[in-house]
Structure 1
Amino acid sequence: MARINVLEDDLELDAPFLIEGLPGVGLVGKIASDHLVETFEMVHYANVHCEGIPPVVTYMEGNSQLTTPVRVYADTDRDLLVLQSDIPIAPPAAIEFADCLSGWFDDRGVTPVYLSGRPADKGAEPPSLYGIAAGGGRAHLERIGLDAPTEMGLISGPTGALLSHAVEHDTTAVGLVVESDPQFPDPEGARALLANAIGPLADVDVPTDDLVDRADEIQRAKEELARRMQNVENESTEARPLRMYQ
């Protein structure tokens, strides 16, 4: 049975933002969400048992307790939730997964912030970043002055399914798209998301210097997941341009 099992019923949150960290291009969402959970020492708030999640379990370094591979963490001081995922969600399961999560978000007044990498050749310039929205999400983007897309595009994978659900049901959602390395984990892209969009959106100060200082370490730690995702066609979230006339 699809459900989200809340472990900490006594935690009080007031219309929180939720940062989605499903694996995708450059693992930018995964890196950003892991960084938030670690930096703010967030509480393991809920286990996600939605359709589409493979029947696997996760165990952590130094902890023998098993848990689900997709979890929600909470920070009541910052009124913040993070969806942390240790696995990709396969495309055939994305709709059921989105229905399960989105219903839970709606019931709790959560504003989801969905993260996606757009494959790009990395140069010396900082990665470009833009925002997209459904429902009332556009007001949040205008509030922080985040740029709109400069070209037509498409979001695929489970994040695309989650945003599609928001459009279909006219609920509020924010999407953030950042230029990302198409082959390797990209801490620089994750840093741009945190510093230039997630922090301002959620009105939190997110330290990000160590993401750059530890870039090599982070890249090595995430490469195994990146390799797994490359072996499964179209499994990950991706933003890509739609050039209609070329």
Structure 2
Amino acid sequence: MIEEITIRYLDSFKDQKPVDPLFIEGLPGIGQVGKLVAEYMIHMLGAEKIGEIHSIYLPPQVILDETGLARLARNELFLFRGEGKDLIFLVGDHQSTSNEGHYLLADAYCDIAVELKAKRIYTLGGFGVGHLVNEPRVLGAMNRAELRPELEAAGVRFDREEPGGGIIGAAGLMLGMSAERGIDAVCLMGETSGYLVDPMAAASVLAILSKLIGVPVDLTRLNERASEMEKVIEGLVESDKLQKDEELTYIG
């Protein structure tokens, strides 16, 4: 029987202890920016899966693979063992479908960070601006004012009115909840239109995250995806322009 929130570690991880780990949250969100960054890092660094999270607060659906095989929606934990510094990644299929679930799941994620003795939490996401962005900025937030100089030195922007509406979901809630547990936390948000999956914003976030954590990640493949998406966007813009020109000609 499924419980409200079930966290299960793989047998292969149960006797392991991460070394001074950093906790990186990259769940689905605006432009899928955080998800792209975290999953790209998992792939490029060769991180290994260490656990699964199931919950009744995730959408009531199953996920199908290419063969039609079904499984419950879930979130997952991955571990990368670096030189003197490990990385724990939280990725997955969905965030909560309810306000209550957002709070309870974020609380559970912070409990995991405490249990695994994370030194800092990084939450990743997109900052939707409602229009196409050629050179995405990376906006930031933190749960302790003393962290700001370090973030600004890495290129994170802190503009007075952005994000004006706050930060929704795990990326925001984990900042507040981790502060209560005495863990430093940082949120990095890539500027994105919010209309499409945005590898350009993801590349901007990853470049800064790599500086902050001191773990280099080859951006080549992500930049290639960003270039491909840029061409798609240019095609959409041109198509829209042609359509408008045709409408004007017809009206004239």
TM-score by length of 1: 0.76
- TM-superposed CA distance for 1:67, in Å, is 6.9
Structural mapping, 1:32-47, within 5 Å:
32-47=37-52
- Counterparts in 2 of 1:90 and 1:192: CA distance versus 1, 3 Å: same
Does 2:35 align with 1:30? yes
Match of 1:95 among 103, 117, 120: 103
Residues 87-140 of structure 1 show CA distances to partners (whole Å, capped at 9, x for unaligned) of 23224210111111111212222122111211122343x211132211487178
Number of the residue aligned with 1:21: 26
Number of the residue aligned with 1:228: none
Deviates more, 1:76-85 or 1:20-29: 76-85
Tell me the distance in 1 between the aligned counterparts of 2:175 and 2:128: 19
Structure 1 vs Structure 2 CA RMSD: 3.0
Asked if the contact 1:22–1:84 (Cα under 8 Å) also holds between the matched residues in 2, the reply is yes
Three-state SS of the structure 2 residue aligned to 1:155 is coil
Number of the residue aligned with 1:209: 220
Match of 2:203 among 191, 201, 209: 191
Unmatched runs of 5 consecutive residues or more in structure 1: 220-246
Structural mapping, 1:2-81, within 5 Å:
2-7=5-10, 8-50=13-55, 52-54=57-59, 56-58=61-63, 69-77=74-82, 79-81=86-88
Q: Which amino acid aligns with 1:127?
A: P
Tell me the distance in 1 between the aligned counterparts of 2:157 and 2:169: 21
- TM-superposed CA distance for 1:148, in Å, is 4.3
Tell me the distance in 1 between the aligned counterparts of 2:145 and 2:50: 26
Asked if the contact 1:80–1:202 (Cα under 8 Å) also holds between the matched residues in 2, the reply is no
Q: How many residues align?
A: 217
Identity of aligned residues (%): 24
Does 2:126 align with 1:117? yes
Number of the residue aligned with 2:240: none
Tell me the distance in 2 between the aligned counterparts of 1:114 and 1:133: 10
- TM-superposed CA distance for 1:56, in Å, is 4.6
TM-score by length of 2: 0.74
Residues 36-77 of structure 1 show CA distances to partners (whole Å, capped at 9, x for unaligned) of 111122111111135523455546568979575200011113
- Counterparts in 2 of 1:171 and 1:68: CA distance versus 1, 3 Å: same
Which of these two proteins has the greater Rg computed from alpha carbons? 2
